[in-house]
Structure 1
Amino acid sequence: MPRVFRPTFLDVFGVSNLELGAAYSVYGVVAMAAYLFGGPLADRYPARVMLTVALTSTAVGGLVMMAVPSPSTLAILYGYWGITTIALFWAPLIRATREWGLNFSQSRAFGLLEGGRGALAAVMASIMVVLFAALLPEDSETASLAKRTESLRWIILLMSAMTCGAALLIWLALPERKTAAQATASLSDIARVFAMPSVWLQAAVILCAYVGFKAIDDFSLYANQVIGLNQVEAARAGVASLWIRPFAAISAGYLAERLGAPFMIIGCFVLLAAGSFVLASGAIGAGMVWTFVLTIVFTSIGIFALRGLYFAIMQDGKIPMEHTGSAVGLLSVIGYAPDIFMGPLMGYLLDRWPGATGHNYVFSVVTLFAMFGLIASYIFAQRAPTSDRPVSR
């Protein structure tokens, strides 16, 4: 919601950037425990059951959001989603994708996963922006708070209905796979995975890439406060970034089959570092719409290609298939730590230095992490020769 409708979201819920960041932080703190707890569950229970329960319970949270709760209740709601979208959902999704990719290619499997999710997100975001604009007066800037609140409630209802639809589709379409690998991993097995240097390097790659992904939340607000677009136009700018996701992720997956996923990740960090540096430099100002759009396009290519590849390199890191869930738990605890600190950090920077300066500081942080990610991905590539051939379990 805030990624596309951040200016409207802040007004309707009556929260500051820092308060919204605090809700994100609650989600992140809960998610850290949920990653470790959900990993072994994914190695033990069928993905079909866990994903269906996760999506249904997530949709129920949307009904709470429709009531436009107080900032404290909103933070609790984000904590609830930390359980439903992580403990029950994330590791089973990654394991199911990795098993599916055994038949052809890990890079292509994860590229198609990220691209498919991205395509649906882009379509839904576009529909939401059209619906939101249709529910408001011709001049969205003059719409009353009550009118914007009612419009946003319809958007939340649509998203909840889509999530329920996804749960039904998972239950009907995903086979209930039962393999010998679905057994409880021993502590020694988990410790062996945690001791692998490649796991820690991959975790660093995910962390640095995820900082860039979290900064996408600032695109629409940047467009509104720096470029000078109105709230509907700013939302469209945020949606433009989302449309890059399916093409970047799927293309990266297919290219990685030829060039190698570790090598592709290095190139993606170069793109992310360059794009975020331009946004941080202050070179883009009011009225420079096309310069801004081109910059977020190239930055988004780097971000979404990374998301399509950073779990595909588990095979390059020689992580055993039967311990995928446990490995995903550790990778995610470290890699998704920005869920804890990026929201409050962005909120503080944007509130403390209003206007262009705050946005420049946000993308300075992204540039720094992109450089760290470039170093980590280079070391990973040196240690793990690329191999995207199917491996036996």
Structure 2
Amino acid sequence: MTSSTRKWVTLFVLAFSGGLIYQLPYLREQFYIPMQNAFHINNTQLGNLMTIYGIINFFLYLPGGLLADKFSYKLLVPFSLILTGITGFYYSTFPAYHMALTVHVIWAFTTVFTFWPTMLKAVKMLGESSEQGRLFGFLDGGRGLSATLSAFAALWIFKAFGATSLGLRGAILFYSVALIVLGIAAYFLLDNKKSEEESSGKLFEGIVDVLKMPSIWLAAIIIFTGYSINAGLTYVTPYLTDVFHMSVSVGAFIGIIRTYGLRLGGGPLGGIIADRMGSATRYIRIGFVAVILLMALFTIIPGNPSYLVIMLVNMLVVSLLVFTIKGVYFAPLDEIKVPNSLAGAAYGAISLVGYLPDTFIYTYFGNLLDKNPGTPGYKYIFLSLIVLAVIGFLASLLLYKRLKKQKTQAPARIDSLAS
């Protein structure tokens, strides 16, 4: 296997791992009622499984980054996948509620603490600076493909066993076995390189330096806004259904296209464009401008069914655009020139801020709709998304200017040292 082939095969395994490893913790999104019946739990208890998982995740992003810089990803990635799979075998026995909570706590550690920043660092180190956009773009697209294919496979297994608790057990076992297989493949594909800084043990001193970098916080704001906008776009479908009288079945179909189809193409497309432009940050800056303009159309176009086709096209275009941004918004870390020895810590820090919307954004949007029923509530959501896009644009503009300034100053420093 050539080095180039090995690189893309490794990226494929990492991408599929990144999409599949979260299927078990988020099983409720696919099998809500079957889970209630199999585990004998109510709505609140099922919600608590995700609450405990989400809360612990929040506190593990940064420590997980430190771990990624301390230990080799050749060990951490397979460990995360295999342990998640093994725990899935136990989960398939439908343990008591308190034990199900314990399993979700374990999954928080195996999917975030030992996996998420480590996976991002492993992807970063697969290629040169000129490839970062494509690597992260194809990572996001691959994660979407993995989640989609595995979800359909699990659903087929569930139905094949009569859509009963036995079928749910089969679906869980399918995810578990797939994770273990991916973990074994990752072990043999990932290298075991470690830099001198990684072996020095000065990680906590280094993380202080990382947190002092304004560029890191600007990158985190970009992810925060992009992630929030993507969450807000999920409300376009009910908007078209409620206000433009689009049928529920068409809405469900459009939702699938937006959630899965556009993600599969958006990430790779954004990566290719970003690499051709020579800067992911530059592309993200332009992308936010386009998002602002397209989102403005949602606030301007009257809520008349005759405009439904225009609104559908606009939704699909802006959704694709957001997915292209989302696919590459981890790529600027290479442009910031964070050393590989601290890449994990940096990814942990920006993930901590970037995914903070998970703790409040849907509640915020829901309150807007409840307090402003009908069209006004949706308009407020779209205005909120415009504000977020403006903030994202300003953060990417400032980051781009900082990086451009660093590039112009670097030769001057070299010349002064030479003289």
Give the CA deviation at 1:161.
3.7
Q: Secondary structure at the match of 1:176?
A: coil
Q: 1:368/1:150 Cα in 2 relative to 1: closer, same or farther (>3 Å)?
A: farther
For 2:112 and 2:211, locate their aligned partners in 1 and report how far apart those are by CA, in whole Å: 20
**Matched residue, 1:250:** 268
Matched, 1:262 2:281: yes
Say whether the 8 Å CA contact 1:126–1:239 is kept in structure 2.
no
Q: Within the alignment, does 1:85 sit opposite 2:104 as a pair?
A: no
Match of 1:204 among 210, 214, 221: 221
Q: Percent identity?
A: 25
Show the 5 A alignment for 1:168-183.
Answer: 168-183=184-199
Query: 1-side partners of 2:388 and 2:133: how far apart?
Result: 24
Residue 9 (str. 1) matches residue 9 (str. 2): no
Q: Is the 8 A contact 2:267 2:323 kept in 1?
A: yes
Taking the TM superposition and a 5 Å limit, the aligned residue runs for 1:297-312 are 297-312=316-331
TM-score by length of 2: 0.72
Please give the alpha-carbon distance, in whole angstroms, between the structure 2 residues aligned to 1:352 and 1:66. 41
Opposite residue 210 of structure 1, the aligned amino acid is Y
Residue 157 (structure 1) shift: 4.5
Q: Whose RCO is larger (CA < 8 A, sep 6+)?
A: 1
Q: CA deviation at 1:330?
A: 1.4
The 8 Å contact of residues 270 and 374 in structure 1, kept in 2 or not, is answered as yes
1:188-235 deviation digits (Å, cap 9, x = unpaired): 3222221111111111111111113444666777788774324x9726
Q: CA deviation at 1:36?
A: 1.4
Which of the numbers 355, 365, 385 marks the counterpart of 1:336? 355
SS of residue paired to 2:360? helix
Contact 1:261-1:309 at 8 Å conserved across structures: yes
CA distance in 1, matches of 2:304, 2:45: 27
Change (3 A) 1:172 1:268: same
What residue identity is the alignment partner of 2:283?
A: M
Mapped pair 1:94 → 2:126: no
Amino acid at match of 1:107: G
Cα contact 1:25–1:339 (8 A) shared by 2: no
What does residue 38 of structure 1 align with?
A: 64
Change (3 A) 1:347 1:298: same
Q: Deviations over 1:301-336 (max 9, x none)?
A: 223222222121112223222211121121111111
- The 5 A counterparts of 1:356-371 are 362-371=381-390
Q: Residues 97 and 109 of structure 1 are in contact (CA less than 8 Å); yes or no, is this contact kept in structure 2?
A: yes
Amino acid across the alignment from 2:289: V
The structure whose Rg is larger is 2
For the Cα contact (< 8 Å) 2:129–2:334, is it kept in 1? no
Give matches, 1:16-165, under 5 Å.
24-60=50-86, 62=88, 78-102=104-128, 104-125=130-151, 127=153, 147=163, 155-165=171-181
3-state DSSP class of the match of 1:385? Answer: helix
- 1:385/1:102 Cα in 2 relative to 1: closer, same or farther (>3 Å)? same
Amino acid at match of 2:360: F
Q: Deviations over 1:368-390 (max 9, x none)?
A: 322211221111112212999xx
- 2:208 corresponds in structure 1 to 191
Distance 1:9 1:303, change over 3 A: farther
Contact 1:111-1:254 within 8 A present in 2 as well: yes
> Which region of structure 1 is more displaced relative to structure 2, 31-40 or 207-216?
207-216
Unaligned runs of 5+ in 2: 1-22, 408-419
The separation in 2 between residues aligned to 1:25 and 1:193, in whole angstroms, is 30
8 Å CA contact 2:34, 2:168 repeated in 1: no
Is contact 2:26–2:50 with CA below 8 Å preserved after alignment?
Answer: no
Alpha carbons of structure 1 residues 59 and 212: separation in structure 2 relative to 1, 3 Å: farther
How far the C-alpha of 1:338 sits from its partner, in A, is 1.4
Q: Which deviations, in whole Å up to 9, do the C-alpha atoms of 1:221-264 show, x marking residues without a partner?
A: 7788774324x972673254322223221222222123221121
CA separation of 1:147 and 1:187: change in aligned 2, threshold 3 A: closer
- Cα deviation for residue 85 of structure 1 reads 1.2
1:320 aligns with 2:339: yes
Q: Which amino acid aligns with 1:9?
A: Y
d(CA) in 2 for partners of 1:151 and 1:224?
33
Q: How far 1:172 sits from its partner (Å)?
A: 2.9
Counterparts of 2:382 and 2:98, CA distance in 1: 28
The structure-2 alpha-carbon separation of the partners of 1:250 and 1:11, relative to structure 1 and needing over 3 Å to count, comes to same
Q: Residue 280 of structure 1 contacts residue 362 of structure 1 at CA under 8 Å; is this kept in 2?
A: no
Alignment partner, residue 141 of structure 1: none
Q: Say whether the 8 Å CA contact 1:3–1:216 is kept in structure 2.
A: no
Q: Distance in 2 between matches of 1:196 and 1:303?
A: 26
Counterpart for residue 142 of structure 1: none
Contact 1:15 1:71 in 2 (8 A): no
Tell me the equivalent position of 1:143: none
Q: Distance in 1 between matches of 2:323 and 2:372?
A: 28
Matches of 1:71 and 1:355 in 2, distance apart?
39
- CA-based RMSD of the aligned residues comes to 4.4
- Partners of 1:228 and 1:287 within 8 A in 2: no
**Residues 1:193 and 1:291: Cα distance change in structure 2 (over 3 Å):** same
1:223–1:229 Cα contact (<8 Å) kept: no
Q: Deviation per CA, 1:67-119, whole angstroms, max 9, x where unpaired?
A: 78899887765544332211010111111111112375222222232232233
